[in-house]
Amino acid sequence: MLLKKMEYIFAAIMLAALIFLLTNIYTDYRFDSRPVSIQVQAEIDAKEEKIIERIRFHYGIDFKVPLIISDKMPSNLYGAAVLEKQGRIKVYINKKRIKESFDYILDDVMAHEYAHALMFLRGHRSRSDGHTRAWQEICLNLGGSRCDRYVDHNDIVLGKMGF
């Protein structure tokens, strides 16, 4: 009798685990196959507007570049500012990273990439112009909180822990 009861408990646990697994797979599929939610897009748009306002305030220019949420970026990148051969500047945000590190994208990555874009606009186009003191100053002026380096995964993990 006890053995039969244990079998039912085990079967119930396995069924719950399977339902949980399938729910997660479906949720990932929905995120990957659709545009970001209206709420996420609204938060990104609001942050972009704050950055544009800071550019106007600190540099006196009206600077708006296309902000593209891409699911085609390598997983190790959170964002990128790109200067195309035709001279167009674009800022990309990695959609795959939004799901796991949205606050980091808003608080750090967007200002970081817009700082690179502004450096492109000002004529700095080589890799050595990347994270110079001038770039760091722009990044801080645009509201970036960590403008001294590339992504530090410890920042992300500790940020999620709420310390």
What residues does each domain of the chain span?
A: 1-34, 36-161
In 3D, which of 78, 72, 148, 75 has the Cα closest to residue 110? 78
CB atoms within 10 A of CB 156: 16
Kindly report the number of other CB atoms within 10 A of residue 73's CB atom: 18
Coil/strand/helix, residue 47: helix
Task: For the full predicted model, state whether its pTM sits above 0.85.
Answer: no
C-beta of residue 73 within 8 angstroms of C-beta of residue 109? no
Which CATH code fits 36-161?
3.30.2010
Task: Give the residue among 159, 149, 153 at the shortest CA–CA distance from 75.
Answer: 153
pLDDT tens across the length of the chain (163 residues): 888 889 999 999 999 998 998 887 777 666 666 778 899 999 999 999 999 999 999 999 999 999 999 989 998 889 999 999 898 999 999 998 888 889 999 999 999 999 999 999 988 876 666 788 899 999 999 999 878 666 555 544 444 444 4
pLDDT of residue 157: 45
